[in-house]
Structure 1
């Protein structure tokens, strides 16, 4: 594909002369950079961690190392290789991409990045001059031609002419090992409606977006619905749990044509490049962008579109509700949650500033904590509401962006959008009686108390799991304390040292610093038995 160099910034010679040998973190015209100076030359990188976009600062222990201020990831600014975790040749996510530099005649260091020459690639999604480059001007619509219908959480059906596509159907069952349950009761005929769509888009692997249980219900009526997913470096949603027979992995950032009037593309996430994606659809010159949970959709390359859907609520983590330290009183947690929710709303406003849609649909934040033992978590884990979003949008954009507040079955028609505030009814909300939830939790509990390796040979089983996971050479020491449903310890601590290979010490008398994790035994052992990611239980309030 044709490529070109895009100018980023010029580091003045006066600033360049003040930099020290080794790692430097500088800001030039609001552009944050990491600069390494050594006898062999200069290396420059964007100051953005490949993990979740945190900012680097120079490491105090090694002159060439930059350490992320958010989660402690480290990379060698001379080689570009991450050292914590170590670089993996099969996964370029762990190599910081170096920028191109050249000295100007005045001695300034000009910094460029290599980008795709989109002007020579017509099928590549392009944002230019502050807006999405559409294929054609907008054509007139008739009622019911271009619509969005909400079904629950992150699931909508988008109708563009005769074409229908559903997104992220999680409408039945729990998610995150019993931590999450759908807040809304889906429309009565949801399984019939979803079985009649032309395609289903799944943004990422998290179980509130990729729900095999929901898909199995749909597949009973129509197992041949094509599934589309982004072709991610770290693996796409294609596995034995997927009940549909047709799965298509689309190259990120390229349009897929369906007719002269409709096309769509799956775009990457700059914050979680191996996990998340977003969906862009164009119909008759109108554009719809669903950024789902992306923290940095399309690597920040955005512009004006007509409709935007995205998350808004927050609360998708055990922090701070599940923290055991003394300072985490209810009063402290309430205040902390207020700050976190305000930050989350600010992030949403920043994205809307870049996208400048006519209409924003706040979705992908409608879940509840229905586990019987999670009463305190449910009380303290306050979230932004759609009403909060509508007020913040009005205060920020003064009427230039409308908000469509979704309720189950509510339809947005782009011919004549109805943006009045809906009346919320009791029937909109799903019921999760304790007896039903306990039945859903039973598979996790049975793993904890009946799966023989964990009962008969616990230590050996845990060592086998961590050896199989092959996670090592990471600056981390863990003390794992398995707990009951109330997060009270019920097993002896287990220790794992990931530094310099993998060790399982009997105690941590030799360690200076380590992390102590309290985790529900049922969720932890179920995740280990099935080789699941740890986000399965830490997002689900089990640690």
Structure 2
């Protein structure tokens, strides 16, 4: 399958007319000439990483001489270019900074707090564009730059007033949402039947009885990544029998979403692989853009859908969507919330992996995820936030131990935390079949 993807991409490069063709497995690669790129700008070996001190570290690339700043603390590493956003000056250590978090520009004395990537002099001016820090298996690291960092700003559109019923978001189950956008219906990650991860996960919520009919009637489908709670071959097999030519869109990940399509024998004929960071125009009002994950760019993606200038952001399972740079004040934001650890460490035993150790590990991981999601939502300030993509259960009898011990966050807990620290953000905790009328909700947040 991978070979076919590569061969098709090579043909597209040699002859643009191939972009209009369907290959044998029904996959089309759309033009990627203006796509968002990920470039490694600095690599440090394990010894250099170990030598990083707490606080601010200045580093220079031996390849091109460009300079970077790496900030280290107990939470990990953050990095950026050593270049002021004001007029491109170089930062140096700020001798007035007693906490070791601030650098000063040599041109106009602008100051950047590298721990937060916010400029503190002048205050509330800019955010520094952050580089993604990728830790390598050998203990080294790479700094990766996305270009452009905010591709959704291309061709901006002013929001138009939405009428009642014009934009509806219907929750079906787990990560499956149906968006009615004018006359178009857009479906996300349809897992409607059968288990995922062999028999490890099962749907917590029974989807509405007409869910498969809705899926077959969709104008377009987005599948975020290849994990089987998002790419459900049992669901797609039923879809292919009824409507094999439904348009399906996936990101151009290095590990293709439909890696196992040929082996699955599922006959879908209209799979479109789209470049990252490029608006895909569906009609005069509707467009969408797929973005890569900063931590797992080889397989994970998220999506921005825009209708009449109103943005819906779905970060799905991304660990650090788009390297942490996302649009602010979108109309609706959706993300996962549950956490849990069905594999590690629940299936490990012996040594340190006692029940008490695993319970503490899971508790800490859940807490970290809950705080991260709440902090992310608070920083982006969406008008409405909806937690989803976490409604699964280990239902098979052989997984009873995991089900009883693998505790997860609840959507209610996350929304309560957001309501506590950002009460201006309205939250929605959906149940199967629940509908959010975006036009009504934006006019009256209590009318959802």
2:182 is equivalent to residue 182 of structure 1: no
1:301 corresponding residue in structure 2: 325
2:271 corresponding residue in structure 1: 247
Report matched runs for 1:41-52 at 5 Å: none
Asked if the contact 1:267/1:277 (under 8 Å) is kept, the reply is yes
Give unmatched runs, 5+ long, in structure 1.
4-20, 57-67, 78-95, 99-112, 119-123, 127-132, 423-543
1:290 corresponding residue in structure 2: 314
Q: How big is each residue's C-alpha offset from its partner over 1:426-457, in whole Å with a ceiling of 9 and x where there is no partner?
A: xxxxxxxxxxxxxxxxxxxxxxxxxxxxxxxx
SS in 1 for 2:235: helix
1:337 corresponding residue in structure 2: 362
Structure (1 or 2) with the larger CA radius of gyration = 1
1:386 corresponding residue in structure 2: 411
1:210 corresponding residue in structure 2: 231
TM-score normalized with structure 1 length? 0.57
Report matched runs for 1:53-64 at 5 Å: 55=77
Distance 1:328 1:421 in 2: 48
Q: 1:178 to 1:35 in 2, by over 3 A?
A: farther
Q: Give the root-mean-square deviation of aligned CA atoms.
A: 3.3
TM-score normalized with structure 2 length? 0.68
Distance 2:253 2:292 in 1: 8
Distance 1:169 1:250 in 2: 19
Asked if the contact 2:378/2:421 (under 8 Å) is kept, the reply is no
Asked if the contact 1:192/1:221 (under 8 Å) is kept, the reply is no
Distance 2:252 2:353 in 1: 41
Distance 1:319 1:69 in 2: 21
Query: 1:356 Cα deviation (Å)?
Result: 1.1
2:297 is equivalent to residue 276 of structure 1: no
Q: How big is each residue's C-alpha offset from its partner over 1:374-393, in whole Å with a ceiling of 9 and x where there is no partner?
A: 11111111101111011111
Query: 1:337 Cα deviation (Å)?
Result: 2.0
Q: How many residues align structurally?
A: 341
Report matched runs for 1:88-237 at 5 Å: 96=142, 115-116=147-148, 124-126=151-153, 135-237=156-258
Q: 1:371 to 1:2 in 2, by over 3 A?
A: closer
Aligned counterpart in structure 1 of residue 436 of structure 2, from 412, 415, 421? 412
Distance 1:228 1:359 in 2: 25
1:525 corresponding residue in structure 2: none
Query: 1:335 Cα deviation (Å)?
Result: 2.9
Q: 1:313 to 1:420 in 2, by over 3 A?
A: farther
Aligned counterpart in structure 1 of residue 337 of structure 2, from 304, 312, 315? 312
Distance 1:114 1:222 in 2: 37
Q: 1:332 to 1:245 in 2, by over 3 A?
A: same
SS in 1 for 2:159: coil
Q: 1:236 to 1:333 in 2, by over 3 A?
A: closer
Q: 1:370 to 1:44 in 2, by over 3 A?
A: farther
Q: 1:206 to 1:117 in 2, by over 3 A?
A: closer
1:364 corresponding residue in structure 2: 389
Distance 1:260 1:33 in 2: 47
Q: How big is each residue's C-alpha offset from its partner over 1:465-512, in whole Å with a ceiling of 9 and x where there is no partner?
A: xxxxxxxxxxxxxxxxxxxxxxxxxxxxxxxxxxxxxxxxxxxxxxxx
2:84 corresponding residue in structure 1: none
Q: 1:260 to 1:43 in 2, by over 3 A?
A: closer
